[in-house]
Each structure stands twice: as structure tokens, then as C-alpha cells.
Amino acid sequence: MAQTEQKNQNVKKQFEELQSLLERAMALQTSMVLFEWDDETLAPKGAAEHTARVIGSLSEQYQEILASMRFKELLDACQKAEKENAGVFDEVQSAILREAAEEQERLSCIPPEEYRAYAELTARATGIWTRAREKNDFASFAPVLKEIISYQKKFAAYRAKPGQKLYDVMLDTYEKGFNMEMLDPFFELMKGKIVPLLKESAERSKTVPDAFLSADYPEAAQAEAARFLAEYEGFDFDRGVLALSAHPFTTNLHNHDVRITTHYQKRIDSSIFSVLHETGHAIYEFGIRDDLTQTLVGQGTSMGMHECQSRFFENIVGRSHAFWKPIYGKVAQMFGSPLTETSLEDFLAAVNRTVRGLIRTEADELSYPLHVLVRYEIEKMLIEEDLEVEKLPQIWNDKYEEYLGVRPSTDREGVLQDIHWSQGSIGYFPSYALGNAFGAQIYHQMKKKLPVEKLLEAGNLGEIREYLRKNIHQYGKLKDSRQILRDMTGEDFNPSYYVAYLEEKYGRPEKEQ
């Protein structure tokens, strides 16, 4: 008995030392996030090269900790103890060990000099992408993108299991358990169902007026409405910040410091729905339990589930009559004429129009999966078929013409529209489509538990947020996406709910939505 007690004490000390190393690593990661946030919001352009070197140094130190021999010794000892005694660690500690093992495996296989060089490269790349986008010049971005793809393929090869495709390694980074074998039929289903529905709905939408969305509304009005909508949806300004950036995004230092951005465009629906989207991400992070704060499991479980939450609030909630009924008059007053002369019904018809557009972030719900499909197919070509980066604009434009019936006339509205590849986020895009499908499946179940429409009409989003917090947000990374779906809905991932949602909504005239 005494021997067992001593053994448990030793394991406890080893875990505490492991935690101490993880705390140092998390502090470094938090610092890098701050620099990246600053770079995309307030930092002067001339600071980019110097900031990239700082981020490179911090990332090198982060890798040194998690790839160190001492970290591996402690991790191995704790994992061995857990196998011998299943109850030695609680649920949170076990999850931390699981995530630590994955991160240690990911980092230890990459040579330190390559890891630092890549961190500096991606830190510089976002600025290069921004300038290329402003100048409508893909050629100036192509060399750095080529480097990023080369590193990504190299890193994936280091991590790949025997027989595993490189792109599958990348996909697994953002959505565990999903690969091309699962995603190919999912996207084929989407294509088969959406293309004919899109043709009918887009034809109907041609008669829906929307010019009032592009009137000369001042930025101050957009800013006032953005803050109001974020707060109304549930954004906590005591724990969060709303700023501006070229491409709206969300980042978090932890669940008590969540930062979102938006942009103000000529069409006000762009800023309105960007804010609703990013606030959905923020609500997820705010809802994570405090005992998970600043640990490896103190963040959203996957990008697919994160996009599920953001797009749930942006589209399923945010484009509904029930959501806008109690607030439309107030928001219209913020913008002024001609929105004040536009009825709620006409506003909803306009923001639910189906349009064969060029820009993913401004796409309607129905055509959106096709925007993601274009990126998914191109990423597969880049990674699995060695597509030359220089050919990207042509391939991009061809696929848009094939799937959406429109062709970009500039790089800005084509291949340069997204920030993701400049950040090295190859394999991320499918998460958007998966998030839509997760959201429809969860919404189907939620309606059995809550009077969703009545709550929205009463301006009571709190009960909806609490339902999501209780079933999804609080767990952080304790559960993966598929476990959350099974626990919430009683079944594994099932895209048929997404298809049914789209058919039900877009199979009828916009005025009835």
C-alpha cells in the first residue's frame, strides 16, 4: 500500500512538472497570437520583417520545450502510469496528456531550423498577401506561397503514417478523423443536390431588389450596428475586442480574452454577417470552462465545430425572420435611409437571395458549399498532384466558371480573396462546409429541445447560447466533433440534415423565409 502511495506521489510530481513546461509553452503561444493579432490590425507595415523574426524566435522556444527530451520523459512516464492505473488522472488531465502527446509528436519530427524558418515565413506572408491583394497582383504572392506549400508538404511527410496521403495529414490537423475518403462523397453529395437547386433559386432571386444594401451608408453607422449586433448576439466586451482587418477573423488568448475583427464594405450585409459570424466563434471561446483556461484543451475542439458555431449564428439564426423581428427597426435607424424605408420582409428577401457570386465570405448559404468545393479540389491538386502555383489563377477561374457559372476578372476577386494560404492553413477550407453540416444536424436536434423561433422573436438568445454552452462550448477539446454530435443528436455525422435544411429553405420563394 505504501509503495503504491509513493508511486502515485511520484506520478503526481511528474505531471506537475509536465504542467509547468506546458504553462511556459502556452505563454509563448499566447505571445505569438498577440503579435499576429497586432500584425493584422494595428501594426505599422514597416514592422513586418522585424516582427517575423520575433515570432520565429518565440516559435523556436515553443518547439524546444515540447520537443525536449525532458518533456518526452515526463510524458512517457505519465502515459505509462495511466495505462497501469486508469484512475490516476482525471478527465481533464487525461485530455491534456492526449493533446500533449499529439503536439509533441507533431513538433519533434520537424528540424528546429525548419520550424523557425517556417514561422518567420508565415509571419511575413500575410503582409505580402495583403499587398498583393491590394495591387491585384498574384505574381508577387506566388513565390512565398510556393515556399509555404513546400514546407507544408515536407512537414506532412514527417508526420504521415505508412500509406497516409499528405493532404489527409493536413485535413486531420483541422478536423480529426476526416480525410479525403470521407470528404469526397460529402462534396459529391453537396454538388449533386446544390447545383440543380441553385439554378432554380438563382433564377427566382433575379427579381428580388437589393440595391438598398449598397447605398452610401457611413462607416460610423456600420460600426455602431456592428457593436450592437455583436453585443446582442452575446459578445462580452469585458472579455473581448472588436477591431478592423482586411479579412475578418477571430483569435483568442484564452476564454477571457477573445478578439474579433470585421470590415466595412459598400454592401452593408457584408459587415453585418461578418460580425454575426465572428461573434459566433467568440461565443464558443467564451463558453469554455475556466478549469480548462490556458491549457492544451482550453479551446474549440476543431475548426469544423468552430465554423459550425459561427455559421449557425450567421445563417441559421442571423438570416431568419425571428432573429430580426425584435431589432430590425433599431438597426435600420442606425443606418438611416434607405434602410429605414425598407420593410423587414424586403430586407430578409435580399439577404437570403441566391447569387452566383465570386466571393466566398459574401456567398449565400446555398452556393457557399460550391465555393468551398473549389478550394478543396485545388488544395488536393496542389498537394497530391503537384499543381504548379503559377497555374493557380487559371485553375481557380476555370473551376468557378464550371461550378458557379461566373468567372473572376481579377486576382483580387479570385485566387487572392482568402488569407488562409498565406497563414499556412492548407486543409482548413473543408471545415467551413463541415461546419454548415454539423450546424444543421445540431439545429434539427435543438428544435426538439427548445422553442427556438419563439426565443428569437422574444430577443432571448441567452437560452440558445446556454444550450450550446452546455452541450458543446464548455468541453473545449475534451470531446472531438463526432463525439459531440453523437452525444447531442444520438448519431454520428449525418449530412442529410444539411441537405434537408437547404432544400426546405431554398426550395421556396425568398419572401417566405
Sign of CA pseudo-dihedral 45, 51, 52, 55: negative
Q: In angstroms, rounded to a whole number, what is the distance separating the alpha carbons of residues 242 and 206? A: 35
User: Active site includes 278?
Assistant: yes
Q: Tell me how long the chain is.
A: 513
82, 103, 278, 379: the active-site residue: 278
Residue 19, C-beta contacts closer than 8 angstroms, at least 6 positions apart: 96
Q: In angstroms, rounded to a whole number, what is the distance separating the alpha carbons of residues 378 and 400? A: 11
- Give how far Cα 155 sits from Cα of 89, 105, 250, Å: 32, 12, 26
Decide: 334 and 224 in contact? Cβ < 8 Å: yes
* CA quadruple 381, 385, 389, 393: dihedral, nearest 10: -40
Three-state SS at 267:
coil
Q: What DSSP designation does 355 have?
A: -
Residue (of 274, 282, 200, 281) closest to 239 by Cα position? 282
Residue 147, exposed/middle/buried by CB under 10 A (0-12, 13-18, 19+)?
A: middle
Instruction: Output the 3-class SS for 423-476.
Output: HCCCCCCHHHHHHHHHHHHHHHHHHHHCCHHHHHHCCCCHHHHHHHHHHCHHHC
H or E segment at 149?
helix 138-159
Q: In angstroms, rounded to a whole number, what is the distance separating the alpha carbons of residues 106 and 71? A: 14
Q: In angstroms, rounded to a whole number, what is the distance separating the alpha carbons of residues 418 and 133? A: 9
Which grid cell is 487? 452525444
Q: Which residues are catalytic?
A: 278
